[in-house]
């Protein structure tokens, strides 16, 4: 079982992923938690390049190929080996982030990005993708406060520093893309309390556990 979590910055993905891990463990499922960018050894280097404020001069295409390289290595060395052992894999962001951020956000062609993703994931698509949907005004405020509290504004703040228009395009892009892939996407209202948000997610996990 391969589950991914997506959403704009500050939606509470980390909190919900932890709840999902605990829930699946309570049902006897062995889970591996991973993330993009940065899920593999190589990916950790790519993550620090991609998110650092110094990388503001990267072209859209350069950024794209770094995310794809991160993904190809992540799938081959982390996701597939865990799935092959029968484990449940939960990834904080995956291929949909590329379509939405580099496509709907930066203006590259979403269809082309989907094809490039096909190369990077080599057939390993999520069974279930939870989209945490939130007004970017709220999400960004939360994300900026978190980065400041963790002193990460410079190392990990490149996307949070984008203009509000960019974040609005990301939110709309996610909703559009989720509508096009409603077989595996489940959209959850992330404006509620953490327990209320997880109450929306749990039935989707249960549906898979029953399969
Ligand atoms: P991260 O700190 O993991 O963000 P969050 O805590 O909001 O998940 O940073 C990942 C950033 O990288 C995030 O702003 C989205 C962006 N991103 C892309 O632009 N394309 C991608 O393919 C991926 C995986 C992430």
Is there an atom of ligand 1 within 6 Å of 101 CB? yes
**What CATH number has the domain bearing residue 73?**
3.40.50.300
The DSSP bridge pattern shows strands 31-35 and 128-133 to be unpaired
Phi, psi (degrees; rounded to nearest 5) at 82: -70, -45
How would DSSP label each residue in 51-97? HSGGGGG--HHHHHHHHHHHHHHHIIIIIHHHHHTT-EEEEES-HHH
Residue 204 · residue 128 · CB < 8 Å: yes
Q: Ligand 1, atom 13: nearest CA belongs to which residue?
A: 159
Determine the average pLDDT of the residues in 23-36.
Answer: 97
- The per-residue pLDDT for 77 is 98
3-state percent helix, strand, coil for the chain, nearest multiple of 5: 60, 15, 30
Query: Which of 5, 93, 130, 173 to mutate to test ligand 1, by most ligand atoms within 8 A of the CB atom?
Result: 93
Is residue 153's pLDDT more than 80? no
Flag whether 81 is in a domain. Answer: yes
Which pLDDT band, with edges at 50, 70 and 90, does 194 fall under?
very high
How would DSSP label each residue in 161-193? TS-HHHHHHHHHHHHHHHHHTTTTEEEEETTS-
Determine the average pLDDT of the residues in 117-129.
Answer: 98
User: How far away, in angstroms, is 196 Cα from ligand 1 center?
Assistant: 24
* Cα Rg, the chain, nearest whole Å: 16
Flag whether 199 is in a domain. Answer: no
Flag whether 197 is in a domain. Answer: no
Closest CA to 205 of 125, 134, 123, 129: 129
Question: What pLDDT, in 10s, does the model give residues 37-56?
Answer: 999 999 999 999 999 989 89
> Coil, strand, or helix at residue 135?
coil
Query: Which of 13, 143, 159, 170 to mutate to test ligand 1, by most ligand atoms within 8 A of the CB atom?
Result: 159
pTM above 0.75, yes or no: yes
Domain range for 147 is: 6-192
Is there an atom of ligand 1 within 6 Å of 70 CB? no
Is residue 118's pLDDT more than 80? yes
Is residue 15's pLDDT more than 90? yes
Closest approach atom of ligand 1 to CA 105:
19
Rounded CA-CA distance 52/196 in Å is: 33
Task: Indicate the number of domains in the chain.
Answer: 1
- Burial class from Cβ neighbours inside 10 Å (0-12, 13-18, 19+) for residue 8 reads buried
Is residue 156's pLDDT more than 90? no
Determine the average pLDDT of the residues in 106-125.
Answer: 96
CA dihedral for 194, 200, 205, 206, sign (positive or negative): positive
Q: Ligand 1, atom 9: nearest CA belongs to which residue?
A: 51
Query: Which of 37, 70, 116 to mutate to test ligand 1, by most ligand atoms within 8 A of the CB atom?
Result: 37
Is there an atom of ligand 1 within 6 Å of 98 CB? yes
User: How far away, in angstroms, is 97 Cα from ligand 1 center?
Assistant: 7
Flag whether 109 is in a domain. Answer: yes
Flag whether 27 is in a domain. Answer: yes
């Amino acid at each position: 079982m391969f589950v991914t979590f997506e959403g704009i910055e500050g939606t509470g993905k980390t909190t919900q992923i932890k709840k999902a891990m605990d829930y699946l463990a309570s049902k006897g499922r062995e889970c591996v938690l991973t993330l993009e960018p940065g899920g593999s050894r190589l990916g950790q280097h790519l993550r620090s390049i991609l998110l650092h404020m110094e990388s503001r001069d990267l072209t859209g295409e350069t950024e794209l190929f770094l995310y794809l390289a991160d993904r190809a290595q992540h799938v081959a060395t982390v996701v597939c080996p865990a799935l092959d052992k029968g484990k449940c894999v939960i990834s904080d962001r995956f291929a949909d982030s590329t379509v939405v951020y580099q496509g709907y956000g930066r203006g590259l062609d979403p269809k082309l990005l989907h094809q490039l993703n096909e190369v990077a994931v080599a057939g390993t698509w999520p069974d279930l993708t939870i989209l945490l949907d939130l007004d970017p005004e709220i999400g960004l405020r939360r994300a900026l406060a978190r980065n400041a509290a963790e002193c990460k504004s410079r190392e990990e703040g490149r996307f949070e520093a984008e203009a509000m228009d960019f974040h609005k395009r990301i939110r709309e892009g996610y909703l559009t893309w989720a509508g096009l892939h409603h077989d595996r996407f489940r959209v959850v209202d992330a404006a509620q309390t953490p327990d209320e948000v997880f109450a929306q997610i749990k039935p989707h996990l249960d549906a898979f556990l029953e399969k």
